[in-house]
Amino acid sequence: MRQPLVAITSDVRTFENYTWHAAPDQYLAAAYDAAGVIPLIVPSFGDGLDIDAILDGVDGVLVTGSKSNVHPSLYGAEPSEAHEPYDSARDATSLPLIRRAIERGVPLLAICRGIQELNVALGGTLATEIQELDGRMDHRAPQSDKQAERFAIRHPIRIKPGSCLAQVMQSDSVQVNSVHRQAIDKPAPQLDIEAVADDGTIEAVSVKNARSFAVGVQWHPEYWVKSDSPSRKIFAAFGDAARAHKASRERLQAAE
């Protein structure tokens, strides 16, 4: 069987006198090495894209993290400096891509900004600057020029027994590397909470009654897939779901 193709969301950035539609290498490498899939970056062209045509050609969707945040107008909040920076072109692409992937049963893994997009796409809300809320820890990356220090694994999460994530991890607790200042506030009705940090921050969700693997995590498993077993397990589970989806599509095509 050929490797499955997986759609990867893109950020829109301007540098070197060009506008780029790009995704960080860590996500692409983790998808290729740990999930065993071939990642394809989807340009953030919003309504200009035929989402169904994209999903016809792939067997999974990976929604990446990013420095930018979902625009607050998309979940009923007033924009402020605390919500910035934004990437409206990404919002206009990733949110409908997420919704349609779920509707069609295409495997979905959403990371960091991705879990926030997943929640907003399905009707949930976000909280910003959560480190300023009573009882919350500081989930932001420490100040450092070294990415390994910024993305260090720092705190535990408690995993819901019997959940999708519990089956993947075969554990009720793992250590993670959350690097964020926004998080889920009101979970979307279609989401189950799969894991929380000790301060109550939602760290993982899954889509209720999903037809395939559909999980969002607030931390960054892409960074340590080569050395951290829980990180690799998430990508491996996503890759297995993509291969199962590919095999199912090929059986249907052969039967036609």
- Give me the residue spans of the domains in the chain: 5-255
Domain covering 5-255, topology: Rossmann fold (3.40.50)
Specify the pLDDT at position 145.
Answer: 86
Residue burial 104-143, b: 16+ Cβ < 10 Å; e: rest: ebbbbbbbbbbbbbbbbbbebbbbbebeeeeebbebebee
Q: Is the per-residue pLDDT at 149 higher than 90?
A: no
Distance between alpha carbon 69 and the CA centroid of its chain, in Å?
Answer: 13
Highest mean predicted confidence (pLDDT) among 86-95, 123-132, 148-157: 86-95
pTM for the complete prediction? Answer: 0.95
Q: Provide mean pLDDT across the span 220-244.
A: 96
Q: Provide mean pLDDT across the span 79-100.
A: 95
Specify the pLDDT at position 1.
Answer: 63
Percent of the chain scoring above 90 in pLDDT: 82
Specify the pLDDT at position 171.
Answer: 93
Tell me the average pLDDT of the chain: 94
- The confidence band for 254, taking pLDDT boundaries of 50, 70 and 90, is confident
Helix (H) or strand (E) holding 21: strand 18-22
Specify the pLDDT at position 147.
Answer: 85
Of the candidates 218, 210, 221, the residue with the CA atom closest to the CA atom of residue 245: 210
pLDDT tens for 175-201 read 999 888 899 999 999 999 999 999 999
Specify the pLDDT at position 143.
Answer: 82
